Amino acid sequence: MNALVIGAGGAGNIHVRELARRGHVVRILDLDPERARALAESVGFAPVAAVGNDEGDYDLAVVAVPANAHRAVVERQHALGRAVVCEKPLALYPEDAAAIAALPRVYVAESQCYGGDDGLHIARRARALRLLEHPVIWHIVAMTTYRPQAWCNNLSIGGGAFLEGGVHMLTTARVLFGEAVAWSGAVRCFSGGDAPDSGTILVEYERGDMLSLSIYWGTEGCFTGDCAPLAGQAGFIDRERVEAWWPADNHTAMWGHLLTCLAGEAEPVATTAHAAGAVADVWRCYEAAGVRRP
């Protein structure tokens, strides 16, 4: 398969390596040609090269640019007749995410959307939850010292921690619980940007289920002592503790199953419609917390 990876940053680096190690022909496109060239040269174990534009006979385009550019890039690649894998979040704003979700042969690069241990775990849990006669609450605390690139904390480019990181859980929650019906939140900006990086959002679903999602992103020392949650993986659904939703090799598991989806041999656990709904959920919670679009 010939693949074009658009964006040579952190996410693009992962996708290039995952595709290349499986023997696919990969070309890299970035606004900074030197960065694309450096990434291509660093791989070294499969035919990988930097290109000057997106012209060529590509079967697949992987979009790994900031969220505010997703719709334009995805729509162009789709119009060129390629299957498209788009990094999460699906887009910066709900209407753009919905437009992407309406396109055939477009997939979102979220590790929990596909098979492997994490994706199948979600599918099993969704089936089990449907057998319960009462609503459940999923509470998760994601605390990390991770400090993303500056654009992530720009509300008009990356959308902040809940859009960049929270869509993982919000997409999963839509698989587990269905449509969201109520949104609230209290969020703050501590990292110098104008996009929330810390706080809690609450989303309620049609059956009465609820997701309580707390994120503390790049803010060391928010918790001390025995109450400190495990970074990025402390959570409960109903009364059952939930282990980490994605294993250490989450991108390897994701691409392993995603390639079967691209070949028409399987279906993702979560769809682009779930991912678009997660983007809308973030903005509903932001608005409830007093955060307005730029």
Residue 54 pLDDT greater than 50, yes or no:
yes
- The DSSP call for residue 196 is -
Residue 243 pLDDT greater than 50, yes or no:
no
- Band of the pLDDT at 124, cuts 50, 70, 90? low
Span 241-253, average pLDDT: 57
Instruction: Indicate the average pLDDT of the chain.
Output: 86
Span 241-270, average pLDDT: 76
pLDDT of residue 170: 94
Residue 257 pLDDT greater than 90, yes or no:
no
- The DSSP call for residue 265 is S
pLDDT of residue 94: 98
Q: What is the CA radius of gyration of the chain?
A: 19
Helix, strand, coil percentages (3-state) for the chain, rounded to 5, are 40, 20, 40
Torsions phi, psi for 27 (to 5 deg): -120, 145
Alpha-carbon 28 to chain mean position: 21
Percent of the chain with pLDDT over 90: 62
pTM to 2 decimals? Answer: 0.90
Q: Which of 55-69, 144-158, 183-197 has the lowest mean pLDDT?
A: 144-158
Residue 78 pLDDT greater than 50, yes or no:
yes
Of 48-52, 116-120, 135-139, 175-179, the range with the highest mean pLDDT is 48-52
- The DSSP call for residue 80 is T
